[in-house]
Structure 1
Amino acid sequence: MQNITNQTLTDTMLYQDVPVLTYTIHYPYFTTNCSQAAAMHVNNYYKYQARQKEDYCRNVLYKEAVEQATYATDHEFPFNKYEFLSVYTVTYNNDCVTSLYSDQYTYLGGAHGNTVRDSQTWDFQTGYQLSLSDYFPNNQTFTQDIISEINKQITEREKQDPSTYFEDFPSLVRGNFNLEGFYVTPDGIVIYYQQYDIAPYSTGIPEFFFPFSESSSRT
């Protein structure tokens, strides 16, 4: 098991003494008994990602926020401060494997913000990420099997709560399937899709659970 310490980059950026953008970026810092070199590699990965997000906030979002604030003032419109929030959730942390996902929420002053998710599952013996195929050994058709099961789960959900997915979800499930869109829990694997990929905004980020007993053994 890895020890995890939270690191944070945050700031409220002003334009003419008015707050126009607030950003908060959380990212993990790991220590482990598995491999110090692997931990250093993983830590550098998240530090770099966090700095990239901060650079985007300070050099792209801030400029857009200032332009929108200036336009709103000139036309006597209300201005809603821009927001950027990146938060990670650790879903599995045992022996030399850690899995987590990060949700990146961006609000640009409209009716609602948008969330984008990414995830990683790390082997702290090697410093490399585990792939979805690692959890389906000796199964050449695991992607097709996963897609078929997702369609079954959506069909059941639609019976109980209609219109929570787009009508053409079977083609969208296949077309938007992402091999990197998964994370591991103690009981199984979760496959997820981004907002709007297969369902309306109100559905959020769709998730589909695959118990280890039905998918594969744990790594």
Structure 2
Amino acid sequence: MREFFLLASALALASCQEAPQPDAPPQAPTPPPLATESGSAETTAPTGGARQVTEETDTFVFDYSYPQAAGDQPELAKWLDNQLQERRDALALSAARDKEEARDNGFPFNKYSSNTEWEVVADLPGWLSLSAEISTYTGGAHPNYGFDSMVWDEERNIPLEPIAFFTSPDALDAVLGQELCDQLNEERAKRRGEPVQEGSDDLFDACVAISEPNLLLGSSGGQKFDRIGVKIAPYIAGPWVEGSYEFTFSMTPEMLETVRPEYREIFAVGK
């Protein structure tokens, strides 16, 4: 999936520990496991297959949630739980390291944070389309946020990027790009109080290619994908103060022609 944030982690699982060798290189600290005891900093609120995890320590605040429709599918729940653990561990390690560095250099340290919230976009027979809003804070003037999206193939138990359903980003951009640009410029003008200058050298006045934002596959009737959502995070189409941009487009015959043949039967022209 195309994500606004790239969070790396090293998660080591072992059934036993070996005695360290004298010449062994120093190991990175292992983050503590998610707390699960009653009264701990973490709270898990299971409602059916849904999951919501909140953990707060002296260095970070971590939130991660996904809906029942996702949790009711064991392989998808496992995939999301693995992502949850990786993001939590990466946050814990970076927060601990940077807090120590800030202390050594006499700088104040504000708690880091990570929040991921998955939601259902469309639940079709054999397919579950999801989107997530992700926000992080790792120092600086304000948090950053962006989006993620995916479609779960229930038959193969694998996640797919929405753009993977089309022959290529360029093919979809050729039929949708100008309409996206027109609607984006119309919304930019409302927020800025002036129209976008044609031919401007400002990157925040440029059109946004389909490959840049997050795409979402939606459905008006719950049987076929007949809508395409576009979520554009800050700094892609405008400065931070303008916020994100979101648009929804009904599938047209021209868009349908760009769908890969093997997926054509699960798409339809929007009404």
Q: Normalization by structure 2: what TM-score?
A: 0.60
**Where does 1:197-208 land on structure 2 (aligned, <5 Å)?**
197-208=236-247
Structure 1 residue 120: Cα displacement: 0.5
Distance 2:139 2:162 in 1: 37
Percent sequence identity over aligned pairs = 19
1:126 equivalent to 2:166? Answer: no
Higher RCO structure (Cα 8 Å, ≥6 apart) = 1
2:49 aligned partner, one-letter code: T
**Ranges in structure 2 where 5+ consecutive residues have no aligned partner:** 1-46, 221-226, 257-266
Contact 1:86–1:105 under 8 Å retained in 2: yes
Query: Cα RMSD over matched residues?
Result: 3.5
Comparing 164-173 and 93-102, the one that deviates more: 164-173
1:185 equivalent to 2:210? Answer: no
Structure 1 residue 42: Cα displacement: 2.3
Contact 1:20–1:65 under 8 Å retained in 2: yes
What corresponds to 1:30 in structure 2?
71
1:63 equivalent to 2:97? Answer: yes
**Where does 1:65-144 land on structure 2 (aligned, <5 Å)?**
65-68=99-102, 70=103, 74=106, 79-128=109-158, 129=160, 131-132=162-163, 134=165, 141-144=171-174
SS at match of 1:173: coil
1:47 equivalent to 2:81? Answer: yes
Q: Could you say which structure has the higher helix fraction?
A: 1
Distance 2:121 2:151 in 1: 10
Pair 1:80–1:163, CA change in 2 (3 A): farther
Structure 1 residue 4: Cα displacement: 6.8
- For this pair of structures, how many residues does the alignment match? 198
What corresponds to 2:29 in structure 1?
none
Structure 1 residue 196: Cα displacement: 0.6
Specify the structure having the higher radius of gyration (Cα): 2
Distance 1:65 1:218 in 2: 52
**Ranges in structure 1 where 5+ consecutive residues have no aligned partner:** 14-18, 32-38
2:120 aligned partner, one-letter code: V
